[in-house]
Structure 1
Amino acid sequence: MASFGYLLFRSAFMLAEQIAPRATGRVAFELFCRTPDPDRPTKREADMLRDSAAFMDEARHHHLRTRDGWVVAHDFGPPEGRSAPAVLVVHGWRSRTEHMRTLIEALRHQGFRVIALDLPGHGRSTGRRLNLALAVAAVRAAADWFGPFSAIVGHSFGGAVAVNAVFGSIRGIAPVEAKRLVLVAAPSSMPGLFEDFGRFLGLGTRTQMALAGQVERVAGHPLESFVAADQLRELRIETLAVHAPDDKEVSFESARQFEDAGDHVRLVRVPGRGHRRIIADAAIANQIAEFAVAGF
C-alpha cells in the first residue's frame, strides 16, 4: 500500500500540472536528476566502503574537470605496472567504483589498465545531480585523459551512458573512441525510463511533455532519439550484453533489443543473478574481461 506521504506528493504534482505544466516539468526533471547524499551512506554502504578501502588504495585518483564540475577517475594499473591498454568502467545510478571491484580485478588480471569513473553526484565526484548529459560529459573527460579505450564496460545506467558516449548523442560533446562495449544489466530506452518515472509521480500528459522538453534542452536532441539499441544498430561496434532474465530493476527486454541490433551484438543470459549480484559474480567478470581482450 502506498504511504500517505507518497500519495500527497503525487497529488501535489497533479494539482501543479493544472496550473503550470512547464514549471512542473522542470521540477520533475530536477527531481529525476537528484542523487543521494554521499555523506549519509546506509550501514550496508558504509560496511562496503570500509571493506573496499585497501582495494581503492591501489589506484591513483585523478580529479577531472568537466563543464559542470569535477569527477574522480580511479586509475588501476595492471598487476606488473607495465604499459597496458585502457578499459573504462562506468557504474550505475546510486552506485560507485567500489561496487565494480570484481569486474575491475578481472580486467586487471587480463593485463588492462582500468580507469573506473565515479559519475557526477556519486562516489568521490562532486555534485548532487546526474543525468545522461552530465554522465557523457564525464566519460568524455576521462577519454581526453586516458583514451582511446580498448573497451568500455557499463553497468545499468552506466551501460546506457557508454553507448551514448560512443555514439556522440549529446550536443557539443565529441564521440568517445572504443573498440568494444560491454553492457551489463543496461537499459535501452531513455524514453521508457522517463515514462516509468512519470507514472511513479502521477504526471499528466502536459507535464510529461514538459519533462521531455527539459531533456531536449539539456541534451540537444529529442528524448525519443535516446534509444541505445537504435544507436548500437548504427555504431556496429562489437558489443557484449550481459543480463539476468530475473532482473527486477531493468527489464530483460532491453537485452533482447540490444541483441536485435545486429550480429555485432551478443547476448549472454545469466539466470539468477538479478540486477546487482551480476557485477559481483567472478565467472561473469572473467567472461567480460576475456571479451575485452579478444572479442567474440
Structure 2
Amino acid sequence: MASFGLKVIRGVFGAAEHVAPRLTGRAAFELFCRTPNARALSEGERRAVDRAADFMAEARHHRLKAGSGCIMAHEFRPEPGRASAGTVLVVHGWRSRTEYMRMLIEGYRAAGYRVVSLDLPGHGQSHGRRLNMVNAVDAVRIAGEWFGPFAAVVGHSFGGAVAANAIAGSIRNIAPLASGRLVLIAAPSSLPAIFADFSRMLNVGPRSQAAMADRVEHLSGRPLSEFTGDRQLAQAPVPTLVIHAPDDREVSADHAWRYAGAGDHVLLHWAEGLGHRRILADKGVVERAVSFVAAHREPSLLH
C-alpha cells in the first residue's frame, strides 16, 4: 500500500472511530478480506508463472462451484511407475497460487501421491476478490468432497491456517476435514494477532476492532478469540508437522511455538535462514514434509 494512501486510510479510520465505529469496523473487515488482482502480476510473479507453464500443463484442472464463485483445483497424478500412496491436498497462502507450490507438489508426486492443489478464492485461476477464513475453509470442504479423504493436507502461510481450521472444524456448519496428517509451513496460528497487526497498521481503534470481531463471529459462528492454533489442534489431534524459519519477517516464530503447544502430536522443525517464501523451494524442507506424510507407511522415515 503506497505511503500516501496509507496515511489517508489511517486518518479516515482514526476519525471514524469516534463517529461510527460499527461502520468503520465493517469497512475495515471488508478491506482485510480484499484480495489483490490475481491478473495484475509483478514482473517477478509473471516470470514464476511462465516458468511453471509446462508443470501446470501436466495437471487436470477442475473448476468447482462454491458460494464465493468458482474455485480451481489442479490435480497432479503420481509420477509414472509409482504405486499410488493416496492423495495430498496443498493449499497456498495469501497472494500466492498453485504455481508457487511447485517444489512441494513435485516432491509428493515423486513419493507416489496424487496431489490436489487448490487456488483459494481471489487467487490464481479462482474467481472473486475476497478471501477470509470462512470462504477459504468452505473451498477446502468442496475439495474434500471431490477428492478426499486425504492422506495429508499441506498449507503454506495463510493456507496453513486454513488447513488447520478445516481439520479442526472451526467454521459453523462445515464438518471437520478428514485427513491423516497435517503439515504447516510458515503458517500463522492466531487470527486475533493478525487482526491486531492489521488494526495497528491502519489505525483502527478499539471500538471498530470490536465491530470487526463481531463480524467474524457472525460469519463463522465462533468468537474471534477461539481462532488460535494451539486451541484448534488440541481439539483435533491429527499428527502435525510445523516447519518455520526463525527469521520469518511476515509470520513470526511465535506462531510456530503456539502450534507446538497444542500437544505431543505436533512436531516442530526450525528451517534456519529460509524466511517466509524461500522456505517453499528448499530441498530439505520438501524432503521433511514428504517423509512426515509417508511415515504412516514407513515409521523409520521420521528419524
Q: Shorter-chain TM-score category?
A: over 0.9
> What is the match of residue 43 of structure 1?
43
Distance 1:241 1:13 in 2: 36
Q: Deviations over 1:83-104 (max 9, x none)?
A: 4410000000010000100000
Distance 1:160 1:5 in 2: 29
Structure 2 residue runs of 5 or longer lacking an equivalent are 297-301
Distance 2:55 2:5 in 1: 40
> What is the match of residue 202 of structure 2?
201
Q: Deviations over 1:150-202 (max 9, x none)?
A: 00000011111001001111111111100100000011100100011111111
Distance 2:6 2:237 in 1: 43
> What is the match of residue 192 of structure 1?
193
Distance 2:229 2:259 in 1: 8
Which portions of structure 1, spanning 4 or more consecutive aligned residues, are displaced by more than 4 angstroms? 81-84
Distance 1:4 1:69 in 2: 33
Q: AA paired with 2:238?
A: I
Q: AA paired with 1:221?
A: R
Q: AA paired with 2:70?
A: W
Contact 1:243–1:270 under 8 Å retained in 2: yes
Q: Deviations over 1:192-239 (max 9, x none)?
A: 000111111111110010011111111111100111111111211100
Q: Mean Cα displacement is larger for which, 87-96 or 9-18?
A: 9-18
Counterpart mapping for 1:58-137 below 5 A: 58-80=58-80, 83-137=84-138
Contact 1:66–1:138 under 8 Å retained in 2: yes
Q: AA paired with 1:79?
A: E
Distance 1:3 1:231 in 2: 36
Distance 1:138 1:43 in 2: 29
Contact 2:84–2:112 under 8 Å retained in 1: no
Contact 2:16–2:24 under 8 Å retained in 1: yes
**Cα deviation, residue 3, structure 1:** 3.0
Q: Deviations over 1:78-121 (max 9, x none)?
A: 01276441000000001000010000000001000000000000
The answer to whether the aligner puts 1:23 opposite 2:23 as a matched pair is yes
Distance 1:273 1:266 in 2: 18
Counterpart mapping for 1:175-254 below 5 A: 175-254=176-255
> What is the match of residue 272 of structure 1?
273
Contact 1:17–1:24 under 8 Å retained in 2: yes
Q: Deviations over 1:29-61 (max 9, x none)?
A: 110000111121111111111110000000000
**Cα deviation, residue 18, structure 1:** 1.5
Contact 1:103–1:282 under 8 Å retained in 2: no
> What is the match of residue 10 of structure 1?
10
Q: AA paired with 1:290?
A: S
Distance 1:257 1:3 in 2: 32
Q: Secondary structure at the match of 2:275?
A: coil
Contact 2:137–2:165 under 8 Å retained in 1: yes
> What is the match of residue 162 of structure 1?
163
Distance 1:129 1:3 in 2: 23
Report % sequence identity.
Answer: 55
Q: AA paired with 1:92?
A: G
Contact 2:184–2:241 under 8 Å retained in 1: yes
Task: Calculate the TM-score normalised by the size of structure 1.
Answer: 0.97
Q: AA paired with 2:21?
A: P
Contact 2:229–2:262 under 8 Å retained in 1: no
Q: Secondary structure at the match of 2:11?
A: helix
Q: Deviations over 1:125-173 (max 9, x none)?
A: 0000000001000000000000000000000111110010011111111
**Cα deviation, residue 4, structure 1:** 3.4
> What is the match of residue 288 of structure 1?
289
Task: Calculate the TM-score normalised by the size of structure 2.
Answer: 0.95
Q: AA paired with 1:110?
A: A
Distance 2:42 2:244 in 1: 27
> What is the match of residue 57 of structure 1?
57
Structure 1 residue runs of 5 or longer lacking an equivalent are none
Q: AA paired with 2:34?
A: R
